[in-house]
Amino acid sequence: MPDKTADMEKKTEEKAVMPSSTEVPLTLDAGPAPGKPRSLWSDAWHDLRRSPLFVVSALMILFLIVMAIWPGLFTGASPRDSDLKNHFLQHPNWTHFFQADWFGYDLQGRSIYARVVHGARASIAVGVVVTLAVTIIGTIVGMVAGYFGGWVDSLLSRLTDVFFGVPFIVGAMVILTTFEERAVWVVILALAFLGWTQIARVARGAVITIKQSDYVVAARALGASTSRIMFKHILPNAMAPIIVVATIALGGYIGAEATLSYLGIGLAEPTVSWGIDVASGKDQLRNAPFVLMIPSVMVAITVLSFLMFGDAVRNALDPKMR
């Protein structure tokens, strides 16, 4: 046994050295005390490195994140410069790679390529921040409900049902209409306010299962405090299903932002986002479909990347799928 443990420690260290960009499980691995055998995660990482689905989606996500942080790397053109005289709805030049006219120009003579590159930031920021927020809220609610059970569980579960029962897009629209300003943080607030229920349910289910396991019973018998049991024993073990659901949901929130913008109620100019461009493109759909299609394809690619990433992580973490 000691040998095996040592081997696993080595693996954990290896992992820490591996260049990690967007691999969610890795960053989490750094959380719990080092030196503990972490077989589930090492196994998963071992599988993931060999999964083409994972490698492709991780590279795509990395690419999108770089685009969101440093749009200047991809284009020198400004997303807000408009030149109606020369570029009114100019069609794409598919061979002019990475140039301002690659994807053509929109109704206001702005480079669609520049807008797509600069739009990544708002869309990805909404996706990432909403996911972080709902994961934190959902995990806390789900853990407290699952751990304490009884009336606390009843109360929190009913509260989750209440928020789950309100139709998502309708509720988000209602919240958004009450704000004068349609900035990124308002959209984040609206989506996070209604979005946490899914994670809460998953976390509650996971905690209820883990609560009965031997190591938790042992920890309690040894006199560990409630907070120690929750954060050292239950949380790390409940993380797997939560991360899978969160990654897949991330894509969904990016889609939701675009949908709200399409309905004319999400982000608004002068923010540059894919959703806004989709909304402005829908009026030229018949004569210039590329104005709508190009940002839509970007939304789809981003959602697809996170879906594939979540799928790959789920396959690696779920022993049933082996």
Partner 1 sequence: MGRYVIRRLLQMIPVFIGATLLIFLMVNVMGDPVAGLCGDRQCDPATAQRLRTDLGLDKPVWQQYLTYMGNVFTGDFGTAFNGQKVTELMGSAFPVTIRLTIVAIVLEIVIGITLGVVTGLRRGRPVDTGVLILTLVVISVPTFVTGLLVQLLLGVKWGWIKPAVSSEATFGELFVPGLVLASVSLAYVTRLTRTSIAENRRADYVRTAIAKGLPRRRVITRHLLRNSLIPVVTFIGTDIGALMGGAIVTERIFNIHGVGFQLYQGILRQNTQTVVGFVTVLVLVFLVANLIVDLLYAVLDPRIRYA
Which residue ranges make up the site for partner 1 (CB under 8 A)?
158-159, 161-163, 165-171, 173-175, 177-178, 251, 255, 258-259, 262-265, 278, 282, 285-286, 289, 292-293, 296, 299-301, 303-304, 307-308, 311, 320
What's the CA gap between 246 and 130, in Å, rounded?
10
Q: How far apart are CB 50 and partner 1 at their closest, in Å?
A: 16
Distances (CA, A) of 22 to 25, 43, 68: 9, 18, 13
Q: How far apart are CB 219 and partner 1 at their closest, in Å?
A: 32
Q: How far apart are CB 288 and partner 1 at their closest, in Å?
A: 12
Q: How far apart are CB 158 and partner 1 at their closest, in Å?
A: 5
Q: How far apart are CB 282 and partner 1 at their closest, in Å?
A: 6
- Based on CB atoms, which residue is closest to partner 1, 217 or 304? 304
What's the CA gap between 10 and 21, in Å, rounded?
21
- Based on CB atoms, which residue is closest to partner 1, 143 or 190? 190
- Based on CB atoms, which residue is closest to partner 1, 113 or 262? 262
**Do 122 and 271 meet the contact criterion of CB atoms below 8 Å apart?**
yes
CA 188 to centroid of chain Cα atoms: 12
Q: How far apart are CB 224 and partner 1 at their closest, in Å?
A: 34
Tokens found for residue 62 = 């990395």
Residue 63 phi/psi, 5-degree rounding, is -60, -45
- Based on CB atoms, which residue is closest to partner 1, 28 or 307? 307
Listed in sequence order, the DSSP H helices in the chain are 2-17, 24-29, 39-49, 52-69, 84-87, 112-148, 150-165, 168-177, 184-195, 197-211, 214-221, 226-228, 235-262, 274-281, 290-317
Q: How far apart are CB 173 and partner 1 at their closest, in Å?
A: 5
What's the CA gap between 93 and 142, in Å, rounded?
51
- Based on CB atoms, which residue is closest to partner 1, 230 or 256? 256
**Do 249 and 133 meet the contact criterion of CB atoms below 8 Å apart?**
no
Tokens found for residue 173 = 């629209």
Secondary structure of residue 59 in the 3-state scheme: helix
- Based on CB atoms, which residue is closest to partner 1, 85 or 158? 158
